[in-house]
Chain A
């Protein structure tokens, strides 16, 4: 596990060595702003909180996070550096964790750079900063879960476009599994336990509960379990590809 650190450092630096980081951050911040102020009518509501702002996070992540994750493994496979990386004295697990943490830290940086909106809302009124902090934590955890799914999908292919599309699809299912679009399908015939099980998989439900201001251990554990699950599958996928 000692090798996680050099892999993390290399991967994190790689974002900033290419325009990727800057393009992503600019678009992320611009989109956050546009959604909050125009579509979400932040000013018209006249309430000093960031509910509107955080409400758009799952939907923005749905497309932006797979865009970061798609290159994680697909690019290594295509350029042949995967062969280099995996023939170094590094476990697959260390490589998966190192790369994932770098991508997660990078989304953390992007998320951190939204701080002006926190300052703005404090300037405009007196919001509950505890709720906002909890929402940031929830948002970061959710981004990690999206990333883990994206990383796992990226490992299955050397084609980044395929990695992106599959990751968006899987992320979408996880996002909306608590919403009527999925639950209506089960309603009326499925036992209640199944419906609540499906709905409990929803990122939206867990994120909403954290964004309400309570960092419930169950929600934190949920997101961390999703991350652990998909990173484990990620390791297995790479291991299986060795067998050919």
Chain B
């Protein structure tokens, strides 16, 4: 439903987006990841038609965003970065305004507004000026505005930024519930969010896609993928460590001293191998306090394939 081809954006000497190709289909929730300044927001601004690309094409349900912008933007719900809204309006007035601009009239507008207000839990603040609302409510007003017309394509720039854990959970549930009928792009730098809602994760760095896969595939690139961690008494640690190292599939063991005479050992598997069965079989004879296998750490993958912002700023100047 969203097709992006060779998208670039040049700000003076700075290549903010340096050639992105991407297609997002119905039912996909694409997590758009990357360090600050990697080009996430710029890409989203081009996909929604706020910025014109330096080169490349964006099509939304077949409508080119540059040449057939109005038709394309009808299909899009967009939550810009920081969830801007007219502060002097109340959420009720604001949503009516959006409904009108979107061509919703009369009963249709009323039904959609009621429905959206319920989905976003805006009832308690419906008649307060938006500028007086808390960050959480402001963000939900922005979200309400984006989903008001039930768009087939939904693009959200950090939808859960500034929300407390309960609100985050609510927004994520909402996104998950809408996902099957829509193509959704969500930018975030919360890695747990990707695991929670995304069917696909794309990491961009310096304006280029550096990883594209399911969250599971990305996790598999982590050093900690399928690693087994156990905590044992310090006295037993040396013996157990050598036994772990002797396992056929074990690539190495890390040792970390915890307080109270406890040691945490992490055994890393050779690529593609599983350690958990071997280790748990052995562990029956040991005095083990904790034992668990890890799925992998997304932040580790993220750090490994993206760069520090200072290095990036230096290199981005072509």
Measured CB to CB, the residues of A under 8 A from B are 2-3, 5-7, 9-10, 13-14, 17-18, 79-81, 83-84, 86-91, 242-244
Q: How large is the interface on B (under 10, 10 to 19, 20 to 34, 35 or more residues)?
A: 20 to 34
| Contact of A88 (CB < 8 Å), options: B11, B51, B86, B98 | B98
- Chain B nearest CB, measured from A50 CB (Å): 35
Q: Which 9 A-B pairs have the closest CB atoms?
A: A80-B84, A6-B100, A17-B88, A87-B48, A83-B80, A89-B73, A89-B74, A242-B52, A81-B84
Per-position binary interface string of chain B over residues 120-149, scored 1 when its CB falls under 8 Å from any chain A CB and 0 otherwise: 000000000100000000000000010000
For A81, the chain B residues whose CB sits under 8 A away are 84-86
Once the chains bind, are A87 and B101 in contact (CB under 8 Å)? no
**Which of A5, A81, A84, A242 is packed against the most chain B CB atoms within 10 Å?**
A84
Query: B78: CB under 8 A from chain A?
Result: yes
Query: B102: CB under 8 A from chain A?
Result: yes
Once the chains bind, are B50 and A83 in contact (CB under 8 Å)? yes
Q: How far is the CA of A79 from the CA of B86 in the complex (A)?
A: 8
Query: B97: CB under 8 A from chain A?
Result: yes
Q: How far is the CA of A6 from the CA of B94 in the complex (A)?
A: 11
Once the chains bind, are B84 and A14 in contact (CB under 8 Å)? no
Q: How far is the CA of A14 from the CA of B86 in the complex (A)?
A: 9
Q: How far is the CA of A165 from the CA of B68 in the complex (A)?
A: 37
For B89, the chain A residues whose CB sits under 8 A away are 10, 13-14, 17
Q: How far is the CA of A9 from the CA of B88 in the complex (A)?
A: 14
Measured CB to CB, the residues of B under 8 A from A are 9-11, 45, 48-52, 70-71, 73-74, 76, 78, 80-82, 84-89, 93, 97-98, 100-103, 129, 145
- Chain B nearest CB, measured from A86 CB (Å): 6
Once the chains bind, are A6 and B78 in contact (CB under 8 Å)? no
Once the chains bind, are B81 and A80 in contact (CB under 8 Å)? yes
| Contact of B101 (CB < 8 Å), options: A7, A13, A83 | A7
Could you write out 23 A-B pairs with CB less than 8 Å apart?
Answer: A2-B103, A6-B101, A9-B97, A10-B86, A13-B89, A14-B88, A14-B89, A17-B88, A17-B89, A79-B87, A80-B82, A83-B50, A83-B80, A83-B84, A84-B85, A86-B50, A87-B50, A87-B73, A88-B102, A89-B74, A89-B102, A243-B51, A244-B9
- Chain A nearest CB, measured from B17 CB (Å): 11
For B88, the chain A residues whose CB sits under 8 A away are 14, 17-18
Q: Which residue of B lies closest to A83 (CB)?
A: B80
Q: How far is the CA of A81 from the CA of B73 in the complex (A)?
A: 16
Once the chains bind, are A3 and B101 in contact (CB under 8 Å)? yes
For A79, the chain B residues whose CB sits under 8 A away are 84, 87
If A89-B70, A244-B10 are given as contacts, then 12 extra A-B residue pairs at C-beta distance below 8 Å, sorted by A number, are: A2-B103, A10-B89, A10-B97, A13-B89, A18-B88, A80-B80, A80-B81, A83-B80, A87-B78, A87-B80, A90-B101, A244-B11
**Which of A2, A3, A80, A89 is packed against the most chain B CB atoms within 10 Å?**
A89
Q: How far is the CA of A91 from the CA of B82 in the complex (A)?
A: 23
